[in-house]
Structure 1
Amino acid sequence: MLGLDFKEIVTIGMVLFAVIDIVGTIPIVVDLKNKFGHIEAEKAAVASAVIMIVFLFVGEELLKLIGIDVHSFAVAGSFVLFFLALEMILGIRIYKEEEASSVSIVPLAFPLIAGAGTMTTLLSLRSQFQTVNIVIAIILNIILVYIVLKASAKIERLLGKNGLGVIRKTFGVVLLAIAVKLFAANVKGLFL
């Protein structure tokens, strides 16, 4: 019925959770809160959900318009995920973000939550999973993002710097495995 699959939703949800890395971005969120005051968690969550769902449906058509197939995008996406995972595991910054002037939608909703890695992942997932399961996983992740944004200061105090580091590295390894799987699943499609 409608292609709903609990196992797919859990798998997609874990992939998106690792890519969005909302727990790992708590130090950034706290820093933004200190710089700019109040963070509008509702606005950031809704904007992120809209960006992700729109890109999920329009992204493939956009690729076709510029002459790129899903397999090529998925392989490119696997490289983006690979480098994101290296950042998480090794604690280095490969991608440098511009300094924010406000916290409303930029940089919280985009690029922190619904950034390039998330967009790439969504199209890569679309080539392997049912769309309805991806949408449900997005909504579940956005609910989690909202909760984490609302409770960011408490979570930071609870986990401490070391706890956040362990979680970030653990999800980095998961993300690295996902990147390898995406590459292996889509690279043969380039030569067909």
Structure 2
Amino acid sequence: MSLDFDLKEIVTATMILFAIIDIVGSIPIIIELRKKTGHIQSEKATIVSVVLMILFLFVGDKILDLIGVDVNSFAVAGSFIFLFLAMEMILGVTIFKEEITETTSIVPLAFPLIAGAGTMTTLISLRAEYQLENIIVAIIINSIFVYFVLKASKKIEQILGAVGLNVLRKVFGIILLAIAVKLFATNVGALFN
């Protein structure tokens, strides 16, 4: 089996995944999760999200078919998690309980924040257009960036300060709510067809 690396495909797939993962836009959520749990396991979250993305790239549609769930149902479920996270950010309420310390790096960080329904759906779409090896390189490049953002979240919080962080949290909470609504609206219609 010969590998067919193509720089243009790698760059395009990387940029598409970067926009979908939107780790920079998720900084307020990451900081909020770190505040609740005391720390975030950056390595664990990154590794789990890479494994999920690569696994889904190869067998995602088959796994969903096997358990009787379509991509639209998957996306609607992800939209509910985004909705709850957005409500926490906007209203200052606690929905996710404090005792989730051990699993925070996986849920909601690795999934659905990093490797969520939008990312999974995008990977299935990319697979139809690009070579697998180029998509895998794009996943790895994005994961390296994700890791550095997760590691730097404490410094980012110090730079922004309490007021800046609060404003950013509310703004990104509204953006996250809009993403949840869009993800829900885009996929819910397909569930009834």
With over 3 angstroms needed to count, the CA separation of the structure-2 counterparts of 1:177 and 1:5, relative to structure 1, is farther
2:38 alignment partner in structure 1: 32
With over 3 angstroms needed to count, the CA separation of the structure-2 counterparts of 1:119 and 1:152, relative to structure 1, is closer
Query: 5+ unaligned residues in a row in structure 2: which ranges?
Result: 1-5
Identity rate, percent: 46
Tell me the alpha carbon deviations over residues 32-90 of structure 1, each in whole angstroms, 9 at most, x when there is no partner.
Answer: 35xxxxx7644543343223332444333222112122222223332332222222222
Contact 1:81 / 1:175 at 8 angstroms: preserved in 2? yes
With over 3 angstroms needed to count, the CA separation of the structure-2 counterparts of 1:82 and 1:4, relative to structure 1, is farther
Higher mean Cα deviation, 41-50 or 69-78? 41-50
Correspondence list, 1:88-167, <5 A? 88-96=89-97, 98-100=99-101, 106-108=103-105, 110-117=106-113, 118-126=115-123, 129-131=125-127, 138-167=139-168
Provide the secondary structure at the position in 2 that maps to 1:98.
coil
2:169 alignment partner in structure 1: 168
The count of aligned residue pairs is 181
2:12 aligned with 1:16? no
Contact 1:77 / 1:124 at 8 angstroms: preserved in 2? no
In 1, the alpha carbon distance for the partners of 2:7 and 2:61 equals 21
Tell me the alpha carbon deviations over residues 136-172 of structure 1, each in whole angstroms, 9 at most, x when there is no partner.
Answer: 7654543333223333332222111222222222222
C-alpha displacement of 1:135: 5.8
Q: TM-score, normalised by structure 2?
A: 0.68
Q: TM-score, normalised by structure 1?
A: 0.68
